[in-house]
A = this chain, B = another copy of it.
């Protein structure tokens, strides 16, 4: 309602529209999560409670943002994929990234005590976010493969590294032992020295978390009768699947088909 001679300053807000008809990925990253993990005594290399909290926050973002077709998370990062022709906030980059990171953060803090009831939040954590456009389905797939390969490589390394450290040696010794080792060698160390079969590690740790909208039978209150009835709805659902191979995409043609 307010008009004043100062209104002219609005002209300085420049447009930051994202190219239409491209996949928009919003990636958020934890800020200073190394220290944050230490301060909250998170287990290493993976803290299942903290990962599930990340998943919960991401799931909530998807509930509020119908244009997100898929989300992928690992460690302290999450990527949200908006459908190619999304008109969310007229595709304004800062509006999209700021809203999603704010919603994610809000849920993260809000749900904290539910997932880590014995570990009071010591200070408010934060995340950053950016929007990136991917012009083709293949490049979007490569983006997701990039993050999932990153998860795999980091998790393999961290699993062995912390096995060595928890086994009583220093972090420097662990680094030295692992320098230059292949994936096969790391698995061998893990198995022969620590009795850990990497293949049996939790899928969430090895693959990260994928959230998709799945047809799910849920109980809703009927508008007609006021009674609870069962309905099938598309509900964000977490799984730990491989997105690198073709199979994932062949089985879900609606994902890349979602314009």
Contacts and interface: CB of A to CB of B under 8 A. Distances in A.
Interface of A: 1-2, 4, 6-17, 19-22, 28, 31, 60, 93-95, 97-99, 101-110, 121, 123-136, 139, 142-143, 145-146, 149-150, 153-154, 157
Given A1-B154, A9-B139, 18 more contacts: A2-B150, A6-B146, A9-B146, A12-B21, A12-B133, A12-B143, A14-B19, A19-B135, A22-B22, A28-B98, A93-B94, A94-B131, A101-B102, A102-B102, A102-B104, A106-B109, A133-B135, A136-B136
Contact of A134 (B4, B12, B131, B132): B12
A19 B12 contact: yes
A164 to B, nearest CB: 16
B12 A132 contact: yes
A128 B90 CA distance: 14
Contact of A139 (B12, B60, B129): B12
B98 A133 contact: no
Contact of A129 (B4, B11, B102): B102
Contacts of A124: 60, 103, 106-107, 109-110
B15 A134 contact: no
Given A94-B130, A110-B121, A126-B106, A1 B153 contact: yes
A256 B75 CA distance: 40
7 contacts: A4-B146, A14-B132, A94-B94, A101-B101, A102-B105, A105-B105, A135-B136
A167 to B, nearest CB: 21
A187 B113 CA distance: 47
Closest 10 CB pairs of A and B: A6-B146, A106-B124, A135-B135, A98-B129, A2-B153, A2-B150, A15-B15, A102-B126, A109-B109, A110-B124
Contacts of A8: 142
Contacts of A98: 28, 97-98, 101, 127-130
A12 B98 CA distance: 19
Nearest to A15: B15
Contacts of A146: 4, 6-7, 9-10
Nearest to A140: B9
Q: Which of A12, A19, A60, A123 has the most CB of B within 10 A?
A: A12
A13 B153 contact: no
Contact of A20 (B12, B17, B93): B12
Nearest to A104: B102
